[in-house]
């Protein structure tokens, strides 16, 4: 005994009215296939995707109606099986008797599924290394430059310190006017400030250079 189920009911029930065929183009299913189809629709509406898949598959195995491939594709998409959904929709487009608008809608859905499956662009090769992973040669070059600058600053600090001491000794070793005393005191303060600044900068550069040399290379 055959049961005539309209394709429009089949496809609209599953939320794809754009793919619905004419109501006068029924699906002739026997009683068992029709029962499977009804149970599949009920399960789909309840969000029971696996039960819907099993029953639609049973209906298709009995009837071999290509229209049911679309239903199976919709269920596969709900289950997150995008690749299966894509292949089922392709089979549906290839084998079902569709009007031109229906073919266009099926093709749009296939394109959407293909876009979902398209791999993301791979990161560009030769990307810059992560911060802190500078090559050893760069660290060595920075350390050498740091040592050179540190040496220059420390030598300068020594020089200004000696110059300040000599200027102070000169002030103390001979009679001077108040104007000369004030100028000498200002010079001594300037020498002292320069000595401290150069010593601090030189020490910082020296420590930094030592750290660069001693820092282990990351694997």
Average pLDDT, the chain: 76
**Which DSSP letter does residue 24 get?**
T
Task: Assign residue 14 the CATH number of its domain.
Answer: 1.25.40.10
The residues, any chain, with a CB within 8 Å of residue 154's CB and separated by 6 or more, are 198, 199, 202, 203, 206
| Domain end marker among 117, 146, 171 | 117
User: Which residue, 35, 20, 24, is CA-closest to 67?
Assistant: 20
pTM of the model: 0.49
Per the model's pLDDT, the better-predicted residue between 115 and 10 turns out to be 115
- Together in a domain, 84 and 15: yes
- Together in a domain, 75 and 107: yes
- Together in a domain, 106 and 180: no
- Together in a domain, 185 and 107: no
- CB 64 within 8 Å of CB 56: no
pLDDT 10s digits, 42-70? 999 999 999 999 999 999 999 999 999 99
| Residue 35, pLDDT above cutoff 50 | yes
- Together in a domain, 37 and 103: yes
User: What pLDDT was estimated at residue 95?
Assistant: 93
| Residue 20, pLDDT above cutoff 70 | no
| Domain end marker among 87, 117, 147 | 117
| Mean pLDDT (whole number) for 196-211 | 78
| Residue 141, pLDDT above cutoff 60 | yes
- Together in a domain, 151 and 71: no
Residue 109 belongs to some domain of the structure: yes
SS3 125: coil
Which segment of 15-29, 88-102, 133-147, 177-191 scores lowest on mean pLDDT? Answer: 15-29
Q: Which domain holds residue 64?
A: 2-117
Exposure string over 2-20, b if 16+ CB within 10 A, otherwise e: ebebbbbebbebbebeebb
């Amino acid at each position: 005994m055959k049961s005539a189920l309209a394709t429009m009911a089949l496809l609209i029930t599953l939320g794809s009215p754009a793919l619905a065929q004419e109501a006068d183009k029924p699906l002739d299913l026997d009683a068992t296939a029709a029962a499977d189809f009804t149970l599949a629709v009920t399960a789909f509406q309840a969000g029971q995707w696996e039960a819907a898949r099993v029953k639609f598959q049973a209906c298709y195995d009995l009837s071999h109606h290509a229209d049911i491939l679309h239903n199976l594709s919709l269920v596969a998409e709900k289950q997150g099986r995008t690749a299966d959904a894509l292949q089922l929709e392709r089979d549906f487009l290839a084998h079902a008797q569709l009007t031109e608008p229906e073919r266009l809608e099926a093709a749009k859905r296939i394109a959407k599924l293909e876009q979902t499956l398209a791999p993301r662009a791979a990161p560009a090769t030769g990307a810059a290394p992560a911060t802190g992973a500078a090559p050893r040669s760069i660290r060595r070059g920075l350390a050498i430059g740091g040592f050179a600058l540190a040496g220059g600053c420390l030598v300068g600090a020594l020089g200004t310190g000696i110059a300040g001491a000599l200027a102070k000794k000169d002030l103390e070793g001979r009679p001077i006017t108040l104007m000369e005393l004030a100028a000498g005191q200002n010079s001594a303060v300037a020498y002292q400030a320069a000595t401290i600044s150069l010593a601090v900068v030189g020490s910082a550069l020296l420590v930094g250079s030592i750290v660069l040399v001693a820092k282990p290379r990351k694997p």
